[in-house]
Structure 1
Amino acid sequence: MASLTWRNVIVSGMGVLTDGYNLYSISLSSFFISSSFTFTGAELGLLVAGSYFGAAIAALIFGLLADKIGRKRIYGVDVLVMALGAGLQAFSQSYSELLLARLILGIGIGADYVLSPVIVAENAGEKNRGKMMIITFAVMWGLGAVLAAFVEQMGLMAHLSPSLLWRVVLGVGAIPAISVFVMRRKIYETMMFVSRINPEHEDVKKIENEIGKPLPKARDHTPFLKRLSSSAVLIIAASILWLLYDMYSSTFAIFGPITIASNLGLSPIEFTYVAQFLAGIPGQIICIFLVDRMGRKPLIVMGYAGVAIWLFAYSLLLSDPRIFGLPETQLSVSKLVGEAAILGFSFYMLNYFFSAIGPASIIGSAMVTPELVPTKVRATSQAISVSVDRLATALNITAFPLLLSHYGLGAMVGFYSGIALISTLITLFVIPETKGRELERIVKEGHAQQ
């Protein structure tokens, strides 16, 4: 079973790496796109959010299909669509064409955000499911972001013109997507889907040979809509939790390499490397080690507490450096300088580190919904979470440049600190602990408590 689980982690993880690359590369290259096209701040926000709108639309379609005909039959279509969208970006001749390419890219990403978490969760054992999902999503997404920074750095070192550089950076996103298509078409149907939904599936014998024992079968005869409605409270709670997480995390991921990096005196590429290697990856390693030992809830709460504290401190620093005993002159036109820049850098990195310990690695790995709902509606439930999250995040990203110009970075960072506190309360009082428990057992216990 271990080899089957790791194979799914690798195959799914490469798709998530593609997601990370394509979502992050637009933030790195958006400055250079202006050398080719003219657009307003609102149009830039719409362009950056384009893939999120596409993902919101596609998720529901692929989620319903995955629950009705199986995960395997449509796995691989997502990366092909991603590759098409990424490739079309490189050849766009107008703002409208680039926006359309990003919508197509988002369709593939939305499908992958539904399929990959469900497939990994349904094939992982209860003792290491958390670790496997974090490696698949949080770690691989971060590596995709680093790869995007590396590609842009190579382009800058090669002295590519701005009009060519952004096309190369965005277009390269098609390569990792294409690389996993064949592997995704060759995977087996998930053990949980075969066991609970289609015990006569052609892959049953292959799975049993792989795991070396008979596969338990217990077909779920409960109607689809009844299963979905009985899980409604948890689906809503998980969707809100992911929505709140992405309101600040996706905004920072997209605009951080420009807005935050500039405020801290770093280039976008420097910012990416520092954030991932000094804060993101160390936090993920801690989470991987503890998630199946300590549990999901303690890590999310501990992580969000750190996020709230350090973002609030960063917000205060941006508002008035004198609060920290620094001269007001170290804040120049919303840009920190001198000791204030060093302190701001420390606050932001600590926020990033604590986020990686809990929220980014667990909520960001799309772990919540797949662990809480029955197999029969797992993909649809995940699709609802993805659609709600992607749509809200798209609107937030579209509005961020305007909100930033109106309220300033300090107020925005303070607002996101408040979101972390609200998310902590939802986690504490609504989301059940899933550490070390089989997926269907979690569902039964959850329904018994309702």
Structure 2
Amino acid sequence: MTQSTADDQLTARADQVVARMERVPVSRFHGRVVGLLGTGTFFDSFDTLSLSVVLSTIAATLHLGAGDAGWVISAGFLGQAIGAVVFGLISERLGRKRVFVLALGLLGLMAAGSAVAWDGWSLGTARFVQGLGLGAEVPVAAALLNEFVHGRARGRVLMLYKLLFPAGTLAASLVGALLLATLPPTQSWRVLFAIGALPVLVAVLAAWRLPESPRFLVRRGRTEEAERIVAEMERSAGVPAARVEGTTPPADLARTRFGEIFSTRYRRRTLTVWTLWFTTYFTLWGMTTWLPSLYVSVGGLSPSAASLLLGAVTIGYFALLVVMSATVDRLGRRFWFLLGYGVALAGAGVALLLWALGALHGWVPLCVAGTTLLLGVNINAPLVYLYTSELYPTRMRSWGTMAGSSWRNVAAVVAPVAVGQMLQARLGIGAVFGLFLVTLLVGLAVQLRFGTETKQAALEELAG
């Protein structure tokens, strides 16, 4: 057998791996993948929000001003930005599974480190190192999950998986409220961070039970391993193992070139999704990070009541994600992106109007405007993970998703500091909502002009 014939046979087997995966319906196998990835994502959001929930208590305990607290917050997001890029590069070499396990273990270990912090610098350092893992976990999980699910159900499955993110947010709010109400201030935030160390155990389980993406494996020449995993998927779904005939998009076996996301073919996609990431998460993290503290300083609520209020808002987000999961593969990604930006802009606009009328005081108007804004950007937040990983081929899907998510983290570095400095300079809460309004308008304009639809297509068809 000549080398050319052998290569042709490997290519044909790789194409069959993709074709067989596209015919496998969602089954218990996918449930296991979603369960493991979702548990990691649960603790990702738990650890991310924990600092916001107990920020006022930490500031009092460690004697941090608004500007100092903003820098502690941003240290974690700076780590996430770096982690997304570094692990994104590594994930195309080591695989999605290994990077997920490494990231999850790191964020758990550094949650324990945050629990024993003694000043702003030590806490900021722990949050920075933890951010390296936090920045990689969710985007690599989204890329991995997308590569397991056929095109007709990809949006539904990923939206259901993303339910674990607000679940972690809700858990952080409720557990934080309980700890704030029952423990001394110097202990409550330390216990909350210690709970966030549990992902270390999840990482051990994932190393044992989480499969690698067959799409990644065939690219690395590990075709037999990929075929075994696909056969397991078929057995779980009750689909007979058989050759798939007909026109099927070929597997992506090309070599990874990290600069390809800036090539003529992918440049517009890259700039589009980077704008979506930045505008969505600048607003999301700017509001999420500071809203509990604003409920206390502007609304007059206690820290525990502010935490419970944020948790109540999260319950509405659960219902929203369920609706999105049922419709995103039918109505499409662009429909939901435009709706998300529209709702968020309505919230920012209401806040500006109330501020101009002198009525933006007390927790009720702040809650109405802030909740509307947050619901809008929380529509876009899970969508941008799904959307980004659909726009790149397998050879750079994880890298492209993580590179995009790094702009989420860049925005998250800038937003808490910007809001903190604006509040410390007494520019007023109206100026903060005005900044969010302009940011959201940019995102809406880019999606309207350059966004493309990706619903119900195989990943190989969308590769460009």
Which band: TM-score by shorter chain?
Answer: 0.7 to 0.9
| Unaligned stretches of 5+ residues in structure 2 | 1-23, 236-240, 245-249
Among candidates 96, 102, 117, match of residue 121 of structure 2: 96
Task: Determine if contact 1:76/1:185 at 8 Å carries over to the other structure.
Answer: no
2:166 equivalent to 1:142:
yes
CA drift of 1:274 comes to 2.1
In 2, Cα distance between the equivalents of 1:51 and 1:201? 40
Q: TM-score, normalised by structure 1?
A: 0.87
In 1, Cα distance between the equivalents of 2:165 and 2:179? 21
Question: Counterpart of 2:205 in structure 1: which amino acid?
Answer: V
CA drift of 1:215 comes to 8.4
The superposition leaves residues 169-194 of structure 1 with CA deviations (integer Å, 9 ceiling, x where unpaired) of: 12211124533431244222113213
The superposition leaves residues 110-158 of structure 1 with CA deviations (integer Å, 9 ceiling, x where unpaired) of: 1213311111111112112112222223x21111111112222222343
Among candidates 381, 384, 392, match of residue 360 of structure 1: 381
Partner residue in 2 for 1:8: 33
2:254 equivalent to 1:221:
yes
In 2, Cα distance between the equivalents of 1:241 and 1:215? 40
Percent of aligned pairs with the same residue?
21
In 2, Cα distance between the equivalents of 1:233 and 1:294? 23
Task: Determine if contact 1:208/1:215 at 8 Å carries over to the other structure.
Answer: no
- Going from structure 1 to structure 2, the CA distance change for 1:3 and 1:152 (only over 3 Å counts) comes to same
Question: Counterpart of 2:176 in structure 1: which amino acid?
Answer: E
Question: Counterpart of 1:300 in structure 2: which amino acid?
Answer: F
Question: Counterpart of 2:338 in structure 1: which amino acid?
Answer: V
CA drift of 1:435 comes to 0.6
- Going from structure 1 to structure 2, the CA distance change for 1:225 and 1:183 (only over 3 Å counts) comes to closer
Question: Counterpart of 2:355 in structure 1: which amino acid?
Answer: L
- Going from structure 1 to structure 2, the CA distance change for 1:374 and 1:105 (only over 3 Å counts) comes to same
- Going from structure 1 to structure 2, the CA distance change for 1:93 and 1:317 (only over 3 Å counts) comes to same
The superposition leaves residues 206-251 of structure 1 with CA deviations (integer Å, 9 ceiling, x where unpaired) of: 3323324368873523552574334232122111211111111011
Correspondence 1:6-85 to 2 at 5 A: 6-85=31-110
CA drift of 1:203 comes to 4.3
Question: Counterpart of 1:224 in structure 2: which amino acid?
Answer: R
2:375 equivalent to 1:350:
no
2:314 equivalent to 1:276:
yes
Question: Counterpart of 1:359 in structure 2: which amino acid?
Answer: N
- Going from structure 1 to structure 2, the CA distance change for 1:412 and 1:156 (only over 3 Å counts) comes to closer
In 1, Cα distance between the equivalents of 2:369 and 2:443? 20
2:189 equivalent to 1:166:
yes
- Going from structure 1 to structure 2, the CA distance change for 1:387 and 1:348 (only over 3 Å counts) comes to closer
2:212 equivalent to 1:192:
no
Q: TM-score, normalised by structure 2?
A: 0.85
Partner residue in 1 for 2:447: 427
2:331 equivalent to 1:294:
yes
- The CA RMSD measured in Å over matched residues stands at 2.2
* 3-state secondary structure, aligned to 1:45: helix
In 1, Cα distance between the equivalents of 2:407 and 2:205? 30
In 1, Cα distance between the equivalents of 2:300 and 2:215? 49
* 3-state secondary structure, aligned to 1:433: coil
In 2, Cα distance between the equivalents of 1:215 and 1:374? 24
Partner residue in 2 for 1:328: none
Question: Counterpart of 1:232 in structure 2: which amino acid?
Answer: R
Partner residue in 1 for 2:278: 243
Partner residue in 1 for 2:15: none
Partner residue in 2 for 1:377: 396
In 2, Cα distance between the equivalents of 1:8 and 1:153? 31
| Unaligned stretches of 5+ residues in structure 1 | 322-330, 445-450
Task: Determine if contact 2:252/2:460 at 8 Å carries over to the other structure.
Answer: no
